[in-house]
Every structure is written in C-alpha cells, then in structure tokens.
C-alpha cells in the first residue's frame, strides 16, 4: 500500500461544513418526509449548492476533484448528524462509471452539468424482479437497431428515479445463451429520464419500510440513441463491478455514521434517565451493549479507512471494501438495537427518531449487497473455499 491510512477526524473542514448544513435539517424535517415518503429536496439542494455532491468530479469538469475518502467523510457525517444521504448518495459513486468509461464527448456534455447541479444523476437501474442478486442473468434487453437501441424489460428497487434527470441502466445486449462468460453481453446506458418518460419508460413509486424514494421501472420499446452507450457494448458488467467497491465503501461510511448517532444518542439518554433511583447507564445490562457497539464501530471505521486508502491509491480493494461494508453494517445494526433497547418504550416513539434510524440502518444488511453475499465473497475469494452458489 502506497498511501498511509488517515486516522482521527480527517477532512475537518468538510466535517464542519456538513455538520453546519445538517443542523438546519433536524429530526422533525426527516420525520415529516418519512410520514409522507417524500423527497428531501431542500436538503439535497443545500448539499448541491455547497458543492458536496460534486466532490469526486474532477476539477476540469467543475467538481472538487477530491479522493473517495472525502466522500466517505461527507456521508458519515450526514448520518452521524441524524440525517440520511440516501436521497443523493448515488451521484457520488455512479458518476465514476461515466468518468472512467464514458467517451470524452459524454464527459464534456454531462459532468459539468452534474457538478453544477443542473442535472441529477441519481438513479442506477440494475436489480430486476426475477433475477435479484444474480445480476449477470438480468433480462432487460437493449437491441441495436441502426443508430438506436430499443430497450424492453423491467427493473425493481430503482431508487430516486422520479427525482433524477439521468439514469444509469444495465441491460442485456447479447442473449445469455450466446455468451461465453456469465458477465458478458451486458451494457451500460446513460438514459435521459426526462425525454424518455411516456415514450417507452414508465416509473411507479414502490412504497417501502423506509423513505428511500424507490421505484419500479417498466421499459416498453424505449428508443435510446446509440450515443448513450457507455464504453463498449457487452462490457457493462465489468464497468459496474468497477464502481461497486466505491459504493460499498461509501455505504459502509453511512452505516458508521448511523452507528455513531445511535451510540451518542443512547449514551446521552442512559446518563440522564433515572429508574430505581439511578441512571440506567449504571446498569451493566444497559452499558455493555453500548460499549460493545462502540468497539465494533471503531474497528469497522479502520476497515473503511483502509479500503478507501487502497481505492484512492488505485490499488485492488475488493476484500477490504466488502469487509468494510459487512463490519459497518453489523456495527450500525448492533448500535441501533442497543439504542432502541436503552430507550425502552420511548425507542418506539416517533419523536425520538430512533425507530426511523433503526428502520433505515436495517437496509444495510440487504442492500446494496446482502450480508450473505459478502460472506460468500470472503469464503471464495479470500479464503479460497469452494464457490457456494
Ligand atoms: C430500499 C432499497 C433500495 C434499493 N435501491 C436500488 C437501486 O437504486 N438500484 C438497484 O439496482 N437496486 C436497488 N436495490 C436492490 C438491492 O440491491 C437488492 O434488494 C439486493 O441486492 C438483494 O437482492 P434481492 O432483493 O433480489 O434479494 P435476493 O437476491 O432474492 O436474495 C434474497 C435473500 O437470499 C439470500 N441469498 C440469495 N442468494 C444467496 C446465496 N447464493 N447464498 C446465500 N444467500 C443467498 C440473500 O442474501 C437475501 O438475504 C434496493 C433495495 C432496497 C430494499
């Protein structure tokens, strides 16, 4: 590894800037949106205007040109403040596919507009109802006809599609039966949602346990100009895999932020809530789960930092990115449980925000990749055990 791992509060200016913005978006703001399953437009605008969503876009295209670790800090701080970055986090990592594999013309056309906030690239359509985690078997077809592709099929759980201008879509350009390897024959397209709606693209909200603005997308012979293909036809799965390490590191950072919020909230409460004439935090049954969650969070933080340092040094980081996601998701879930239990009945009261954060952090066990699939990755790729699926 060529880069040392930053310890302590790195990027202090970013941390201070995010904390300042988040102070304007207290629990009541998120509770109200949660009840209505509505999009945090004001919060996303504040982050955009301050330039945080353009952190990873190179300066030549109007962004800040910062390393992934800076984005990791942004997302951790948002979640540690009790807010939620799910409404806009995708822009930070899916933009990488366009940056690494897009043509000079595509980058010139889109990146400056994304950096300025004129265009939102927030939607990433991979998951399908019938194939789930088995991404290489996805069925949405994009058939070349002259200078267009005709796209037909269905996606599920495409978050933010109704609040994004652009969609990064993974679709099949060669039937699975005609490919040599499972990942072959898939291609990535950058689709303009605004001009596609009603012309072969329909998007329906998918109400969920958390306010994630997620949707189902239906493609019925949508015509997409061939100029919207990213990179080479048939290599899309590889391009998407490239971006997945970044996604896992960033989502792990959100989980870390959640864990910190839960532990801080619970410790504050445990010091001040008196039952049986003493603070509940004096009881080891209350104290120890919080202490354990804190230790798990600090350990996960180290793995997140290691993964980000490797990524930013341009080195392979698959094992670290996956382990960071696994450990941080577990830390946040255990911290959420401890926080909920520490609050007794009040943990379930909406006004405390704990039940909302607890629901939100549960997602990290499932998406963007489930815990089982990370364990399977560690078993196969790190320990050299037989592939289990
Ligand atoms: C709120 C939310 C937002 C999302 N946003 C997006 C998005 O923006 N874009 C997008 O493309 N997708 C999105 N997803 C989809 C998400 O990535 C998938 O839900 C996730 O990858 C799991 O896939 P699945 O739901 O189809 O589960 P399945 O693949 O059906 O798996 C179900 C269960 O079986 C387990 N399992 C499956 N196979 C194995 C195996 N071989 N070994 C052990 N266990 C196994 C899994 O771990 C899981 O627990 C989102 C999902 C949610 C809930």
Per-residue model confidence as pLDDT tens digits over 294-348: 999 999 999 999 999 999 999 999 999 999 999 999 999 999 999 999 999 999 9
CB of 334 within 8 A of CB of 288?
Answer: no
pTM, 2 dp: 0.97
Position 2 scores a pLDDT of 52
By CB neighbour count within 10 A (0-12 exposed, 13-18 middle, 19+ buried), where does 94 fall? buried
Q: Whose CA is nearest to atom 33 of ligand 1?
A: 370
Q: Whose CA is nearest to atom 30 of ligand 1?
A: 132
Position 242 scores a pLDDT of 80
Query: Which atom belonging to ligand 1 lies closest to the Cα atom of 132?
Result: 26
Query: Which atom belonging to ligand 1 lies closest to the Cα atom of 365?
Result: 49
What are the tens digits of pLDDT across the range 75-124? Answer: 999 999 999 999 999 989 898 999 999 999 999 999 999 999 999 999 99
Distance (Å) from CA 242 to ligand 1 centroid: 19
Distance (Å) from CA 133 to ligand 1 centroid: 5
Q: Whose CA is nearest to atom 22 of ligand 1?
A: 133
CA geometry: angle at 369 spanning 368 and 373, to 5°?
A: 175
Q: Whose CA is nearest to atom 18 of ligand 1?
A: 367
Q: Whose CA is nearest to atom 20 of ligand 1?
A: 367
Q: Whose CA is nearest to atom 13 of ligand 1?
A: 157
Percent of all residues in the chain with a pLDDT value above 90, rounded to a whole number: 96
Bridging pattern class, strands 148-159 and 214-225: antiparallel
Residues with CB under 6 A from ligand 1: 124-127, 132-133, 157-159, 208, 212, 214, 363, 366-370, 372-373, 376, 389
CB of 102 within 8 A of CB of 119?
Answer: no
What are the tens digits of pLDDT across the range 309-321? Answer: 999 999 999 999 9
Query: Which atom belonging to ligand 1 lies closest to the Cα atom of 133?
Result: 29
For the cut 90, the answer to whether the pLDDT of residue 178 exceeds it is: yes
Query: Which atom belonging to ligand 1 lies closest to the Cα atom of 370?
Result: 47
User: CA 242 to CA 237: how far, in whole Å?
Assistant: 9
Position 1 scores a pLDDT of 52
């Amino acid at each position: 590894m060529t880069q040392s791992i930053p310890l302590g509060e790195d990027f202090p200016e970013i941390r201070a800037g995010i904390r300042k913005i988040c102070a304007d978006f207290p629990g009541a703001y998120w509770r109200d949106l949660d009840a209505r399953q509505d999009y945090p437009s004001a919060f996303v605008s504040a982050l955009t205007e301050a330039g945080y969503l353009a952190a990873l876009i190179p300066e030549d295209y109007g962004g800040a040109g910062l390393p992934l670790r800076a984005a990791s800090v942004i997302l951790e701080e948002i979640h540690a403040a009790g807010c939620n970055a799910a409404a806009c986090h995708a822009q930070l990592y899916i933009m990488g596919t366009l940056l690494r594999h897009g043509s000079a013309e595509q980058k010139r056309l889109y990146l400056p507009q994304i950096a300025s906030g004129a265009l939102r690239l927030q939607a990433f359509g991979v998951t399908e109802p019938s194939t789930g985690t088995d991404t290489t078997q996805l069925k949405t077809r994009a058939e070349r006809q002259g200078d267009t592709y005709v796209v037909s099929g269905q996606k599920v759980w495409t978050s933010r599609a109704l609040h994004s201008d652009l969609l990064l879509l993974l679709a099949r350009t060669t039937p699975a039966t005609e490919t040599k390897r499972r990942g072959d024959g898939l291609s990535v397209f950058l689709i303009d949602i605004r001009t596609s709606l009603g012309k072969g693209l329909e998007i329906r909200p998918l109400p969920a346990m958390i306010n994630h603005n997620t949707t189902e997308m239906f493609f019925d012979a949508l015509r997409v100009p061939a100029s919207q293909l990213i990179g080479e036809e048939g290599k899309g799965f590889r391009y998407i895999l490239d971006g997945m390490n970044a996604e896992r590191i960033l989502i792990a950072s959100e989980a870390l932020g959640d864990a910190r919020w839960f532990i801080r909230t619970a410790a504050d409460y445990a010091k001040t809530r008196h039952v049986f004439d003493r603070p509940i935090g004096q009881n080891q049954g209350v104290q120890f789960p919080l202490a354990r969650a804190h230790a798990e969070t600090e350990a996960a933080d180290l793995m997140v930092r290691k993964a980000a340092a490797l990524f930013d040094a341009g080195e392979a980081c698959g094992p670290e990115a996956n382990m960071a996601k696994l450990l941080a998701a577990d830390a946040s879930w255990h911290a959420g449980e401890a926080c909920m239990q520490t609050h007794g009945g009040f943990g379930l009261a909406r006004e405390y925000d704990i039940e909302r954060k607890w629901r939100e952090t549960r997602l990290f066990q499932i998406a963007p990749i489930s815990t089982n699939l990370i364990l399977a990755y560690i078993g196969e790729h790190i320990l050299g055990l037989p592939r289990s699926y």
